[in-house]
Structure 1
Amino acid sequence: MNPSLLRQLWAIVEATQANSLLNLDDAHLVQSILGQCHVRQPLNSEEKTLLSDYLYSRLNLIRDLASDRLAVPV
């Protein structure tokens, strides 16, 4: 997976509302982020599979980051 795609993925995670990241089930969360990635940069089937696997392996981290964003007063 190329670094540019990873940066884009994490930028999307950071830009997504924390409540959305916490309230979606695993499958819908992964699909939502993949969909946003695809809008920014069309993905081929191999990239979708790699990103999907990567996202599933990072769901706890994504939700932890979202929880931290909710806990910090702005």
Structure 2
Amino acid sequence: MTPLTMHRFWSIIEDSQSSLLLNMDDHALERWLVRELRTEQPLDHGETHAISEYIRTHLPLIREIAMA
């Protein structure tokens, strides 16, 4: 994942309403975040897979940020 993509990803988390992030199950949250990122920049299959994996490994942190 490029630094620009990572920056945009965490910006999406910070700019999203907490209730939206907290009310989705893990799979729905992963799909929504990938979809949001795709609206900002085109992603190829490899990038999409890498981002999905990154999201799965960072779900606890994402939820912790949403609760803060």
Q: TM-score range by the shorter chain?
A: over 0.9
Q: Relative contact order (alpha carbons < 8 A, sep ≥ 6): 1 or 2 greater?
A: 2
Q: Which amino acid aligns with 1:40?
A: E
Give the % identical residues: 34
| Stretches (4+) displaced over 4 A | none
Write the letter of the residue equivalent to 1:62.
I
**Structure 2 counterpart of 1:58, one-letter code:** H
TM-score by length of 2: 0.97
Cα shift at 1:51: 0.2
Give the distance between the partners of 2:46 and 2:29, measured in 1 at CA. 19
**Structure 2: any 5+ residue segments left out of the alignment?**
none
Report the alpha carbon displacement of residue 45 of structure 1 after superposing the two structures with TM: 0.4
Q: Partners of 2:27 and 2:50 in 1: how far apart? A: 15
Quick one: distance in 2 between partners of 1:50 and 1:26? 16
Q: Distance in 2 between matches of 1:8 and 1:55?
A: 13
Q: Deviations over 1:3-35 (max 9, x none)?
A: 100000000011111001111000100110100
Q: Distance in 2 between matches of 1:20 and 1:57?
A: 19
Cα separation, 1, equivalents of 2:14 and 2:31? 16
* Deviation sequence 1:20-59 (CA, Å, 0-9, x none): 1111000100110100100110110000000000000000
Aligned CA RMSD, in angstroms, stands at 0.5
